[in-house]
A and B are shown apart, each in its own frame.
Chain A
Amino acid sequence: MIPDWLAQDSSSVPLPAPSNWGRSGFVEKTIDNAAHFLKDTMVNETVARRNGLLQAIDPRVKLITVLAIIVSVSIMRSPIIIWGIYGFTLLLAVASSISLMFFIKRVWLFIPLFSAFIVIPALFNVVTPGDPVWTAFHLAHSYDFGPYHIPDTITVTRQGVLTAVTFIGRVSASVSLAVLLTLTTLWNDLLQALRVLKVPRIFILILGMTYRYIILLVHTVYDIHVARKSRTLHYGPTGSEQRWVASRMGYLLKKTYMISQDVHNAMLSRGFSGDVRTLTPSRIQGYDYAWCIFVLFICVFSIVLDRTLVPW
């Protein structure tokens, strides 16, 4: 019944020279990225389930209070106070059983990306005129482009450094608060908490389902690529590999569409008619009120101090 070649001992197939084994390329990268995403999801959930200061606070209260601190930071002008708030976020991370190194790495991974490009020009007298602290280079003469003036000596100014430090501090504190919020709250609880901001229920349900099925589809992507890897002796030319990727993307899109139809049927089957009803969230506890008062105090105190250090 089975053909002759299937009955042969495959150990007779020679091992190719290492130079012919080919590049791992996108298959490995996709597997790594998918595994990294799934690992990140698990790490986040593990942190959110730990016993800690922020984990114990109701997600709605946490969302509102974190937003309040972010707004406060955005109207502060003293770098000392802003960096003080950043220091406060580090304390909150420790109190919430988050490793300081892990937290700092996660925050600072994004900050340079978003703020460095914006802040570098602000250091120089071209953008922020003021007292020079370091001369970068000299031009032959100064230039004027309409309202813009470029002096013949390009320097880093004290005011520029202050602007940059304030800006980076503001971004660091805000990103740290956002990271604290997402790390100490289960994603689904965070979505439910959006109800306090009057986000419609159906929108929250769709966001929750999107998150749920993105994870499922990432698992599928991982499985597809691992299956491909397990049957690949060496990778082909870039063109054929790109065609394979395109075909898998098409397959995934089709699968997503089929899943959406099936999920819709499953929802209809359990009485869904387009108007979502959900359980009323649990009541806010005394602990949450205490946290609200504490955050209010921090915000008011730091804004007053900020105004004292840098008057209007």
Chain B
Amino acid sequence: MKKPIFDLSAVSYRYHTAIPAIEGISISIQPGESLAILGANGSGKSTLLHLLDGLIFPNSGTITAFGKILTEDKLETEDFRHFFRSRVGFVFQNPDIQLFCSKVYDEIAFGPLQLGLPEREVVKRVDDVLDMLGISSLKDRTPNQLSGGEKKRVAIASVLSLNPMVLLMDEPTSSLDMRTRHWLIVLISELTKAGKTIITTTHDISLVKQISSRVIVLGEDHRVLADGTPHEIISDHELLHRANIIHEHETDTFGYTRKPEDLPNEKKIIGFPHSSANKNE
């Protein structure tokens, strides 16, 4: 078995040392894995990604990254920071946070330049990434001139230009139109095939099967509720219901849980416009 990229041991994190976000999480993430972290709003998914990216640090427990314990002091050292930042890329949920440079081109060049890559190499990477993601026409635009989907593409490009081994993606498909969403799913599949480790947070179970080979479910108590294959997780309706990922009424949308007609009568108050149960009312 390969050495894990990340190894979390009893990791807990509380905002302002009082508000729990992550409670006693112990997981290992192997190189090349495509992992989806599934959970309801506020379950701690984004916090977990911030911890994995060394942007915040646990109140208790340890995170080991690439065989080294990840601490604030360690990331202050030039050598380890360079080592870690060139290997782990983070696509934030809100692209407006990530696109802080004046122009798209400068945005994509920012990461490789900070890591001290030669300028010729930076220019080649930026041009290649622009070309690969089909956004060359946007290179002279300012972030304010981009649509939501374009911002997401540029945000991904700005991380891919680092050529990270690990890609952390926070709710990557949120507020994307169907075409951009499909484009992103295809891109994630290709990056997985290329051997990248992809860690994605989502509360969208329809996405899980398409982008991951392993799923971790975070409960509303901020603990790991389950860890398994997409099939195992998605077919466990009771688990998904307990994690507040599906509602018992929200049934036939994905075909994973009970059908509306199976629901008890008192639970058919609002129902679905397309369901037979609703039509009969």
Residues of A within 8 A of B (CB): 1, 41, 45, 186-188, 191-192, 205, 208-209, 211-213, 215-216, 259, 262-263, 265-273, 276-280
Q: Which A residue's beta carbon lies closest to that of B102?
A: A188
Counting CB contacts under 8 A, is B57 at the interface? Answer: no
Counting CB contacts under 8 A, is B55 at the interface? Answer: yes
Additional A-B contacts beyond A269-B90, A276-B114 (20; CB < 8 A): A41-B144, A188-B103, A205-B101, A209-B100, A209-B101, A212-B102, A263-B100, A266-B97, A266-B100, A269-B88, A269-B89, A271-B114, A271-B162, A272-B110, A277-B116, A278-B106, A279-B106, A279-B113, A279-B122, A279-B123
Question: Which residues of B174-203 have CB atoms within 8 Å of chain A's CB atoms?
Answer: none
Counting CB contacts under 8 A, is B208 at the interface? Answer: no
A270 touches B162 (CB 8 A): yes
In the bound complex, residues from chain A placing their C-beta under 8 Å from that of B113 are 277-279
B96 touches A216 (CB 8 A): yes
B92 touches A266 (CB 8 A): yes
* CA–CA, A192 and B140, complex, Å: 14
Q: How far is the CB of B173 from chain A (nearest CB, A)?
A: 19
B159 touches A270 (CB 8 A): yes
In the bound complex, residues from chain A placing their C-beta under 8 Å from that of B143 are 212
* CA–CA, A55 and B41, complex, Å: 48
Q: How far is the CB of A220 from chain B (nearest CB, A)?
A: 10
In the bound complex, residues from chain A placing their C-beta under 8 Å from that of B119 are 279-280
Secondary structure at chain A's binding surface: helix, strand, loop or mixed? helix
Question: Which residues of B64-120 have CB atoms within 8 Å of chain A's CB atoms?
Answer: 78, 81-82, 85-86, 88-90, 92, 94, 96-103, 106, 109-111, 113-116, 119
List 13 contacting pairs A-B, 8 Å CB cutoff, sorted by A: A1-B269, A188-B103, A208-B102, A212-B102, A216-B144, A259-B97, A266-B97, A266-B100, A269-B89, A269-B90, A270-B114, A277-B116, A278-B106
* CA–CA, A215 and B118, complex, Å: 33
In the bound complex, residues from chain A placing their C-beta under 8 Å from that of B115 are 271
Counting CB contacts under 8 A, is B145 at the interface? Answer: yes
* CA–CA, A263 and B158, complex, Å: 14
B55 touches A268 (CB 8 A): yes
B50 touches A265 (CB 8 A): yes
Q: How far is the CB of B121 from chain A (nearest CB, A)?
A: 12
- List 9 A-B pairs, minimum CB-CB distance, nearest first: A188-B102, A271-B114, A270-B111, A208-B102, A271-B85, A277-B113, A262-B97, A269-B90, A271-B115
Q: How far is the CB of B45 from chain A (nearest CB, A)?
A: 16
Q: Which B residue's beta carbon lies closest to that of A215?
A: B144
What is the size, in residues, of chain B's interface with A at 8 Å between Cβ atoms?
A: 41
Given A1-B270, A271-B115, A277-B116; A45-B106 close (CB under 8 Å): no
A262 touches B110 (CB 8 A): no
Question: Which residues of B103-156 have CB atoms within 8 Å of chain A's CB atoms?
Answer: 103, 106, 109-111, 113-116, 119, 122-123, 142-145
A271 touches B81 (CB 8 A): yes
* CA–CA, A147 and B248, complex, Å: 92
In the bound complex, residues from chain A placing their C-beta under 8 Å from that of B92 are 262, 266
Q: Which B residue's beta carbon lies closest to that of A266?
A: B98
Q: How far is the CB of A204 from chain B (nearest CB, A)?
A: 9
* CA–CA, A280 and B86, complex, Å: 22
Counting CB contacts under 8 A, is B53 at the interface? Answer: yes
Q: Which B residue's beta carbon lies closest to that of A262?
A: B97
* CA–CA, A263 and B110, complex, Å: 13
Q: Which B residue's beta carbon lies closest to that of A191?
A: B102
A213, A215, A270, A272: the one within 8 Å of B158 (CB): A270
In the bound complex, residues from chain A placing their C-beta under 8 Å from that of B53 are 269
Q: Which B residue's beta carbon lies closest to that of A192?
A: B102
Q: Which B residue's beta carbon lies closest to that of A38?
A: B144
* CA–CA, A45 and B114, complex, Å: 29
Q: How far is the CB of A85 from chain B (nearest CB, A)?
A: 32
Q: How far is the CB of A273 from chain B (nearest CB, A)?
A: 6
In the bound complex, residues from chain A placing their C-beta under 8 Å from that of B106 are 278-279
In the bound complex, residues from chain A placing their C-beta under 8 Å from that of B78 are 273
A262 touches B94 (CB 8 A): yes
* CA–CA, A268 and B54, complex, Å: 9
Q: Which A residue's beta carbon lies closest to that of B159?
A: A270
A192, A213, A277, A280: the one within 8 Å of B114 (CB): A277
Q: Which B residue's beta carbon lies closest to that of A278?
A: B113
B85, B103, B270: the one within 8 Å of A269 (CB): B85
B114 touches A273 (CB 8 A): yes
Q: How far is the CB of A219 from chain B (nearest CB, A)?
A: 8
* CA–CA, A1 and B142, complex, Å: 47
* CA–CA, A268 and B106, complex, Å: 16
* CA–CA, A28 and B143, complex, Å: 27
In the bound complex, residues from chain A placing their C-beta under 8 Å from that of B55 are 265, 268-269
Given A208-B102, A212-B144; A270-B110 close (CB under 8 Å): yes
In the bound complex, residues from chain B placing their C-beta under 8 Å from that of A272 are 110, 114
* CA–CA, A47 and B53, complex, Å: 42
